[in-house]
Amino acid sequence: MSEKLLVDRAQLTTIVERIAWTLMEKYYPFRNTLLIGLQPRGVLFAQRLMERLRAIAPDFPPTFGTLDATLFRDDINKHKGIKVPHETHIPEPIQDSQVILVDDVLFTGRSVRAGLDALFNLGRPASVRLVVLVDRKHNRQVPICPDITGIEVEAMAQERVKVLWSPPEEKEGIWLIGE
């Protein structure tokens, strides 16, 4: 198995900072806004975004939540073993709120579609915007398009794009993992 570093720690920090400022431009002062990380890996990215947003606008950060879509996936029965959902924690009502749904890597779109189903199961937001760190662009299986993207990556279908957050810090970055 081969690994190739696409984005190092410093570049990753810069990308997160740029996305945080883009969110500020579009949604400040975050009235009635929920920033929701899609479990499990979107939560890690969403936490980094929240850290930056709190540093930029300490009086007006959005409300933070987590969402698990395991039971809404269309492939839940394809995998062997029991799928154990992660925690969903949304501290304010979804109804009529502005939702910023956050995930790390957009590939086929199926995880985001399941996330939307899980979200709408909780209520009807006024709007949903999608923020992804990495958009793989190709091999989309459902018509999902992010509103804000950190980077676009060209990768073959059999390759994986993996975002590693510290620890260990020396591996932090975005990696392309091949067979």
pTM score of the predicted model? 0.92
CATH class of the region 16-70+94-153: alpha beta
How many residues can be counted in the chain?
A: 179
What is the per-residue pLDDT across 4-40, written as a single tens digit (0 to 9) for each?
A: 999 999 999 999 999 999 999 999 999 999 999 999 9
The structural domains of the chain, with segments of one domain joined by +, span 16-70+94-153
Give CA–CA dist 167/64, Å, rounded. Answer: 23
Percent of the chain with pLDDT strictly greater than 90:
75
Can you give the pLDDT of all 179 residues of the chain as single tens digits?
A: 789 999 999 999 999 999 999 999 999 999 999 999 999 999 999 999 999 999 999 988 899 999 999 888 776 666 666 666 788 999 999 999 999 999 999 999 999 999 999 999 999 999 999 999 999 988 899 999 999 999 999 888 889 999 999 776 678 999 999 86
Place of tokens 């939560």: 43
- b/e per residue 93-113 (b: at least 16 CB within 10 A): ebeebbbbbbbbbbbbbbbbb
Q: Compute φ and ψ for 113, nearest 5 degrees.
A: -60, -45
Give CA–CA dist 68/85, Å, rounded. Answer: 6
